[in-house]
Structure 1
């Protein structure tokens, strides 16, 4: 059992973190000020989680006092720059408030496991140990062949300093791949700085990435270090790099070619040692052909390309991921263990998941909140699965009725297997609407009430009054 010190002056956050960690078998000591933290014997703790701003000073003061005990800094988004500065002072990582419980648990697990590896197998820290190709060390769930291929590529490229371009649709988990590359690299003990290029205004992107000198522009009242410089010695992850303005692309190209940056408003360059990992859901080569992305930068980025498949192409992985998400959601919401019904599992397998893993996570969380018992029904997932994609072979067989002239084996009418899904739908609704409510009909068909109503309108099957 790990012993963790939590330093947070806001009682609600402190208690929430304590309960979360205790539910996952960690021993927790919590205090509400820097002075109270300084009274502790840091050698008895496996890690420290501290707010950045505390009564009596900053949480960064604990970094020096803690010695070899890793310190995780909590900070608001408004203080993100200060968190990066904290990492330069020796904080092992930072987490922005408000944070997701899973995000906190993943950070704690990562830090504790890294500390254990450092004490037991020093070779792992230097990158000499072989990473697990099956993905268990990455925190990414995936048993399908495309994911196994991805894990093998990660294990090969992670120990190098090669620039990596991660391609994949939004919500597929590109940042998880970036974290896996960093955690299995020789830079694992140095910062991983993640930047979403689409989230920073175009007028500020160069200053944020490369820093600026005092007086470089209106409002630049002090010298500021950029995020590229903050990642010196570690890994810089640029998400949605396709949104990077052309001017910033030129500066980034110099980082890759020369290993140096120049702050906005400065005439001097600075050397940096940064491993770059970039990600995008856009086709950079097409953007380059249209003049929207620098072609020379594209080829510099595309040293090693990793493709993250969409959820719809990952087969049974979607059920494995949904089940893991269901377990975590139940723990987070302090609900008893739940399970998916057969209809829900079929809906999960069949749905297209345009929002990928992010959409799946939202659907599972919604279902846990709305569930009345320990069974998750398909209707609770809030996804629209069309009858054309949803009706399974089992459902079709259940709908077969030899008394139906559409389904007779008479060659003039065609075999049973030739009947269209619309015919099945019409037959099933007409046969059962007298004994079933609209909700029951929709559930049996595996569609929502809205889809049932729309299909009734299209096929000319009016809903009987009173149903």
Structure 2
């Protein structure tokens, strides 16, 4: 089997070249992306390379996506299987969830951020699952001494995600959030995590799970915004054999598979009122009724939900059930956006550089002072997800291990929506002495010039009529360089 690269490999199977190209552009910074236009080509790729995740379109010439993924499950069971299709195919997808072992169903038109997040999670799940299986096998077949060592490794694997993994600076606004989360983790209360997309809500949810008495149980994730109600019900609550065309055997839902553990319901604010009724009953009664079933199945799970929506406002608008809101919001935690915790940017950025450079096979990469200053001056509307993508781009484009500001996109270099927002947030000073007002204006001009020249001090100094030493002195004076 050939090695493609150190990055996890994703195989995109789609007969439309434009769809292949769109998915490649979305994924190629984080993964090695292979493509195939039909099942025969995909088989050749799977035989040649070690594929972590396969993305397969449902409608293709010959075999459907589900039919092909059934074959993949039999021949390459370690590969995580994701199918992409439209609402009209939902019944076929539901029927194939169990037979094909489909990890996730992504609706068209897919959203790049959601596709990338889903594939990342799938790849991580594959790594963790293989490690857990390996350790479990060692635990059952080794000598007493080795069993003790393996048990320690297994416990360490289960605690991969904890509060210490949530990177932040000393005195960060996240300290209070993590402190409260750690206190409530030990109690079997439902938790609602609020915050913008990309702030790390799932990471906090995982930390809560692994700090709880349920740590040895499963932690399962479902994005409620990604799939239609019919499929969501089957995925969460399961279905019975014969409940619809193609349901050849019983399929346990995520609530049953997570029995004794935690279910993380992401983007719960996007669910329909009809689904909310079913979910409320499950949470109240502690039992699920599979689609097509007449008997209920008891389940013992903890629910952690998350949303970027203002659920209280949606309750007032009649878009979210008030009784369900109070059921899931036993404890509410809000993860602040990155722009409100600027001190966290540096430690998060340095950690991301270490992780991304290792993934890309360029260990040792680090940020220059100018690059860090540039990152610190950007508002990051996409939060940590956007920061990670920008760092991956910079690591890939940098010719040396030292990443300079020039490697960042123009959006970040120029402050983008950020520059006009920064200008609005820092208008010309209307108070203070003449010297203080002139200093404020000078600092604004220096920053704007440096951003425009991508933090190239030689060009900025030349435009401003300063020596390079003089420019550096002013930068230090106004705190424009770390």
Give TM class, smaller chain.
0.5 to 0.7
Of 229, 233, 239, the residue aligned with 1:206 is 233
Residues 168 and 307, structure 1, Cα contact 8 Å, conserved in 2: yes
Report the secondary structure of 2:332's partner residue.
strand
Q: State the 1:207 CA deviation.
A: 2.0
Residues 256 and 299, structure 2, Cα contact 8 Å, conserved in 1: yes
Q: State the 1:420 CA deviation.
A: 8.9
Alignment of 1:149-228 (within 5 A): 149-228=176-255
Of 292, 304, 309, the residue aligned with 2:331 is 304
Of 319, 344, 348, the residue aligned with 2:375 is 348
Query: Which residues of structure 1 form unaligned runs of 5+?
Result: 1-9, 19-31, 34-51, 60-72, 87-94, 392-413, 448-467
Q: State the 1:177 CA deviation.
A: 1.1
1:370 equivalenced with 2:375 (yes/no): no
1:280 equivalenced with 2:307 (yes/no): yes
Residues 415 and 445 (structure 1), Cα distance of their counterparts in 2 relative to 1, 3 Å cut: farther
Taking the aligned partners of 1:100 and 1:335, their CA distance within structure 2 comes to 24
1:359 equivalenced with 2:386 (yes/no): yes
* Higher helix fraction (1 or 2): 2
Taking the aligned partners of 1:419 and 1:195, their CA distance within structure 2 comes to 54
Query: Residue deviations 1:378-419, cap 9 Å, x none?
Result: 23222141557779xxxxxxxxxxxxxxxxxxxxxx723324
Q: State the 1:152 CA deviation.
A: 1.7
1:314 equivalenced with 2:341 (yes/no): yes
Residues 192 and 234, structure 1, Cα contact 8 Å, conserved in 2: yes
Taking the aligned partners of 1:263 and 1:206, their CA distance within structure 2 comes to 8
What is residue 380 of structure 1 aligned with on the other side?
Answer: 407
Taking the aligned partners of 1:84 and 1:163, their CA distance within structure 2 comes to 29
What is residue 165 of structure 2 aligned with on the other side?
Answer: 139
What is residue 80 of structure 2 aligned with on the other side?
Answer: 75
Residues 379 and 225 (structure 1), Cα distance of their counterparts in 2 relative to 1, 3 Å cut: same
Of 250, 259, 262, the residue aligned with 2:277 is 250
Report the secondary structure of 1:268's partner residue.
coil
Report the secondary structure of 2:196's partner residue.
coil
Residues 174 and 109 (structure 1), Cα distance of their counterparts in 2 relative to 1, 3 Å cut: farther
Taking the aligned partners of 1:288 and 1:96, their CA distance within structure 2 comes to 28
What is residue 263 of structure 1 aligned with on the other side?
Answer: 290
Taking the aligned partners of 2:123 and 2:235, their CA distance within structure 1 comes to 28
What is residue 437 of structure 2 aligned with on the other side?
Answer: 418
Residues paired across the two proteins, number: 354
1:231 equivalenced with 2:250 (yes/no): no
Q: State the 1:298 CA deviation.
A: 0.2
Residues 299 and 125 (structure 1), Cα distance of their counterparts in 2 relative to 1, 3 Å cut: farther
Residues 307 and 334 (structure 1), Cα distance of their counterparts in 2 relative to 1, 3 Å cut: same
Taking the aligned partners of 2:118 and 2:330, their CA distance within structure 1 comes to 31
Residues 363 and 381, structure 1, Cα contact 8 Å, conserved in 2: yes
What is residue 316 of structure 2 aligned with on the other side?
Answer: 289
Query: Which residues of structure 2 form unaligned runs of 5+?
Result: 10-45, 48-69, 84-95, 104-116, 140-144, 424-432, 461-482
Taking the aligned partners of 1:238 and 1:298, their CA distance within structure 2 comes to 13
Q: Say which structure, 1 or 2, has more relative contact order (CA 8 Å, 6+ apart).
A: 2
Query: Residue deviations 1:95-124, cap 9 Å, x none?
Result: 9867787777777889999989x9479999
Query: Residue deviations 1:276-298, cap 9 Å, x none?
Result: 11001101111111111110000
Taking the aligned partners of 1:263 and 1:104, their CA distance within structure 2 comes to 27
Report the secondary structure of 1:316's partner residue.
helix
Residues 7 and 359, structure 2, Cα contact 8 Å, conserved in 1: no
* TM-score, length-scaled by structure 1: 0.63
Alignment of 1:448-459 (within 5 A): none
Residues 164 and 182 (structure 1), Cα distance of their counterparts in 2 relative to 1, 3 Å cut: same
Q: State the 1:440 CA deviation.
A: 3.8
Residues 17 and 121 (structure 1), Cα distance of their counterparts in 2 relative to 1, 3 Å cut: closer
Taking the aligned partners of 1:428 and 1:300, their CA distance within structure 2 comes to 49
Question: CA-atom RMSD, angstroms?
Answer: 4.5
